[in-house]
A = this chain, B = another copy of it.
Amino acid sequence: MTGPDEQQIPEATIARLPGYLRVLNDFQAAGVTRVSSTDLAEAAGVQPALLRRDLSYFGSYGTRGVGYEVPLLVREIGLTTGGGTVWPVIMIGVGNLGRALATHGGLLQQDFKIVALVDVDPAVVGSTVGRRVVQHVDRLEELVAQYQPRIAIVATPAHAAQATCDRLVDAGITSILNFAPTGVVAPAHVTVRAVDLSQELRILAFHEARRVVASESATAQPVQPVQSAQSAQSAQEYVP
């Protein structure tokens, strides 16, 4: 048994790293080579102490009295979050949303590459989306074996999501980004992240509904400082 020494990086920290990387890239593009935790934290929308704590999990990349070297930090966080390699990704479901995602610059960025697009609809199979010909879902296992993706994007209708995920997991996929408007369960060794548009809207609606109540009843109290929830990621991992 390997000892329990492996510093466990908090999930909350992990979820913030891409954000740090983004603002660091902006700084770098602007020619900034050094940045203090205060400035970086402000740009990223977190407290300076939290930023320092987050970075400290990876080691000492700052210089006391000076700050952090932007290029160094970009490289370190980049590597930590999987940069430096091109991750092959398979996408299941090429409807409106899938098509938008597949051609969306954000997903095609540097470190990720969609190696296969899959759908059931005969009207879609065979068409070209973002330079790739959409394959029939029957070939899913074959395609996974061929391209060896570890990450899959599921953009199927709700009713097909769970079955699709099961097949993906069986085929060897270990990370799933689920856009289907339904929850999916997967074995513990698989990381599942869900992005649900209507859920996000509901959360906003909740806050709006609260605001109405608050402003109606607030005559003496200052308006509820409804904290703005920056960066919302709902991750649901199957826990045994």
A-to-B contact residues, CB < 8 Å: 2, 6-7, 11, 14-15, 17-19, 21-23, 43-45, 47, 57-59, 79-89, 96-97, 99-101, 103-107, 109, 111-112, 147-148, 150-151, 174-177, 181-183, 185-186, 188-209, 211, 214, 217-218, 223-236, 238-240
Chain B residue numbers with a CB within 8 Å of A105 are 181
In the bound complex, residues from chain B placing their C-beta under 8 Å from that of A82 are: 202, 204-206, 208-209, 235
Q: How far is the CA of A30 from the CA of B160 in the complex (A)?
A: 17
Give min CB distance, A100 to chain B, whole Å: 4
A88 touches B206 (CB 8 A): no
Smallest beta-carbon distance A22→chain B, Å: 7
Task: Report, nearest first, the 4 A-B pairs whose CB atoms are least far apart.
Answer: A82-B205, A100-B100, A18-B199, A175-B204
Min distance, Cβ A141 to any Cβ of chain B, angstroms: 16
Chain B contacts of A227 at CB under 8 A?
11, 86, 88, 147-148, 188
Q: Name the distance in Å between A154's Cβ and chain B's nearest Cβ.
A: 12
Contact yes or no, A104 B97, CB < 8 A: yes
With the chains together, A205 CA to B47 CA distance in Å? 25
What would 4 more interface pairs be, CB under 8 Å, given A87-B208, A175-B205, A195-B197? A47-B239, A86-B227, A183-B230, A191-B207
Q: Which of A183, A202, A240 has the most CB of B within 10 A?
A: A202
